[in-house]
Amino acid sequence: MTYLPVVGLSLSFAGAVMISFSFGKNLEEAHQVTQKGRIVCLASFLHPRLFQLGMGLLSIGFLFQIVGEGWSLT
C-alpha cells in the first residue's frame, strides 16, 4: 500500500490540470474595463465534460492518498 499516496498524488495533479483546461477565453470576446482603463478578458466554462472528469480524478486521487496513509487519526 506504499504506492497509493504516489498514485493518488498523480491522479490529483492530472485532475487539477484537466479542471484548469476546462476554462478558457470567452468566445464572444467579452471583457471588463477597470477603473484604470485596462481591459480584463473574462473566462468561460468551455469544456464541461473535461471538468467533470477532472473532478472525478481529483476526488479519487484524494481518496487514494487517505487510504494510503491508513486513516491514522490517533
Q: Kindly list the domain boundaries of the chain, sorted by start residue.
A: 4-68
How many residues are present in the chain?
A: 74
Q: What sign does the CA torsion over 40, 41, 47, 50 have? A: negative
Instruction: Give me the mean pLDDT over the 43-70 stretch.
Output: 92
Amino acid at 50: L
Instruction: Give me the mean pLDDT over the 64-73 stretch.
Output: 77
Q: What is the mean pLDDT of the chain?
A: 89
pLDDT at 52: 97
pTM of the model: 0.76
Q: Locate 60 and state its grid cell.
A: 479519487
